[in-house]
Chains A and B, each alone.
Chain A
């Protein structure tokens, strides 16, 4: 049975815009994206909304519902009290194209600057086998990072750039920290990404307040398993005097490659 529910949807573009009020019938079991589609079909044919899978897997439908960064296709209407006026707005951190659609190309630009995977040469045994030989326990930890669907909700919620547009120049953002973590912890990789992380990607801007982790629809422990281990690895190289001395004297080896 459909019930009439009230919504405030942000309409506009980079030149300006505002919230518009709508009343839309909602069926049982529906998600916010369903409602936006009905709104588009019945009342606001020009409403711009991006989506693809409606299954929480493509990362296209990121928006903010009642101020919470979330995937519209994974946000159930039953989560809100029936008399609630549900606010739907575009993700705040990126330029708006129109209505609920934003331009997330900042993220693609950052991605281009990441040092690509640089595997070590194959061993004789591996050449014979025709592929690298990996132990499961060496790649277990990386699987979590590969779950990322690039919804950029973590990039959107991160206060470093959400509240400070000017920091975009110096900050890669949580999604790209875990991409770096995946490469940095890879058993085959030979590149050293730590200086770039600290100097160019702004790892030090992150104050580990964990909002990225809170909003990640894939439940990736971005901060605990990605960012903090990276910070510790940077400390090894840059801020730990004993480790530094050990390397100078020559008895401390780079444990990442041992």
Chain B
């Protein structure tokens, strides 16, 4: 027989059938949480590394999304420079707090990391290893409830990153009407971030989900249906935008460091 029920309750607690195996599933239930953990860890490691690489994150007219808006003097000369804190040595740290908070409190990522890292539960019908469980009822997890405030910041960031994609329609000397592979990379990045943000559950709620009488709010009903389309695909857009944001950073770095040459379309 496999391990005892992890809760430490007597086997027939609550008069249950005495089945001691942690799960009777025979499929590879661990594969999905393991993959999630792997990809998330890879992203965290890469973005931490990137945040400390304070050179080569911008090459006119491109800027890495990790460092935009360019709030420190460290990145003078790049696409969207707003020098709020010229003394700050690590601009990405200030910037990444917001998207990080947005994704950490995102209803989808919560599912992903509660399963993959917290193992609560690791997979359906597989017992979790914790003795007690209070979910999101207490500090700090009760703070997940402020997710909508991160949404507001996310919208601002999306506007800035869309702006970065637009100013990328210039050449290296600043003349408009040009496009390179980097422009495409930043455009896709902005688009994916919007698809992810529009599908946010808080966004869906604020757009119309909170109403009970749709028939009196035609416009918001249509808005709600529109964002619901993205909401149904929220997981896919969450992963796509996460991976692409890292790839965008990689691309800008490769160009800025001179390792590759940015192919120009026109």
Whether A96 and B135, one on each chain, are in contact in the complex, defined by CB atoms closer than 8 angstroms, is no
Residue of B nearest to A235 (CB): B145
Q: How far apart are A176's CB and chain B's nearest CB, in angstroms?
A: 16
Provide the bound-state CA to CA distance between A235 and B16, in Å: 36
A224 within 8 A of B: yes
How many residues of A are in contact with the other chain, CB < 8 A?
A: 67
A214 and B201 within 8 A (CB): no
The minimal Cβ–Cβ distance linking A166 to chain B, given in whole angstroms, is 8
Contact B213–A258 (Cβ < 8 Å): yes
> In the complex the two chains form, is A138's CB within 8 Å of B212's CB?
yes
Is residue B14 within 8 Å, beta carbon to beta carbon, of the partner chain?
Answer: yes
Query: Which chain A residue has the least Cβ–Cβ distance from B215?
Result: A135
B210–A207 CB distance below 8 A: no
A50 within 8 A of B: no
A37 within 8 A of B: no
- Asked if B111 lies at the interface with its beta carbon under 8 angstroms from chain A, I say yes
B135 touching A66 by the CB < 8 A rule?
no
**Bound-complex Cα distance A69 to B146 (A):** 34
B28, CB-defined interface residue at 8 Å: no
- B 97-140 contacts with A by CB, 8 A: 107, 110-111, 114-115, 120-121, 124-125, 127-128, 130, 132-137
Segment touching B, from A12-20, A24-32, A54-62: A12-20
Shortest Cβ distance from residue A1 to the other chain B in the assembled complex, whole angstroms = 26
Report if B180 contacts A (CB, 8 A): no
Inter-subunit contact A68/B114 (CB<8 Å): no
A 134-171 contacts with B by CB, 8 A: 135, 137-138, 141, 157, 159-160, 162-165, 167-168
Across the interface, name the chain B residue whose C-beta is closest to A106: B14
Q: A224 with B201: in contact, given A89-B24, A165-B14, A207-B114 (CB under 8 Å)?
A: yes
Q: Which residue of B lies closest to A85 (CB)?
A: B26
Bound complex: CA A185 to CA B26 (Å): 40
| Interface hit among B5-13, B58-66, B82-90 | B5-13
A residues in contact with B214, CB < 8 Å: 135, 137-138, 141
Determine whether the beta carbon of B124 is less than 8 Å from that of A211: yes
Taking A68-B125, A224-B231, A232-B202 as contacts, is the C-beta distance between A210 and B212 under 8 angstroms?
A: no
Residues from 200 to 223 in B contacting A, C-beta threshold 8 Å: 201-202, 204-205, 209-217, 221
Q: Write out the residue numbers on chain A whose beta carbons fall within 8 Å of the beta carbon of B5.
A: 163
A224 and B115 alpha carbons, distance in the complex (Å): 17
Answer whether A256 and B212 are a contact pair too, CB < 8 Å, given A68-B125, A205-B135, A214-B124: yes
User: A204-240: contact bitstring with B at CB < 8 Å (1 yes, 0 no)?
Assistant: 1111111100110000000010001101111110111
A87–chain B nearest beta-carbon distance, Å? 5
A157, A164, A214: residue with the most chain B Cβ atoms closer than 10 Å: A164
Q: A186-B212, A204-B142, A256-B210 are in contact. Are A10 and B19 (CB under 8 A)?
A: yes
Q: Does B45 contact A (CB under 8 A)?
A: no
* Extra inter-chain contacts (4) besides given A10-B19, A96-B16, CB under 8 Å: A15-B12, A92-B125, A202-B135, A235-B147
A interface, CB within 8 angstroms of B: 10, 12, 14-18, 64, 66-69, 84, 87, 89-90, 92-96, 102-103, 135, 137-138, 141, 157, 159-160, 162-165, 167-168, 185-187, 189, 202, 204-211, 214-215, 224, 228-229, 231-236, 238-240, 255-258
- B residues near A (Cβ < 8 Å) are 5-7, 9, 12-19, 23-27, 107, 110-111, 114-115, 120-121, 124-125, 127-128, 130, 132-137, 141-142, 145-148, 201-202, 204-205, 209-217, 221, 231-232
A-B contact pairs, 19 of them (CB 8 A): A10-B19, A66-B24, A66-B26, A92-B17, A92-B125, A94-B16, A95-B14, A157-B124, A164-B7, A210-B111, A211-B124, A215-B124, A228-B201, A232-B209, A232-B210, A240-B145, A255-B210, A258-B211, A258-B213
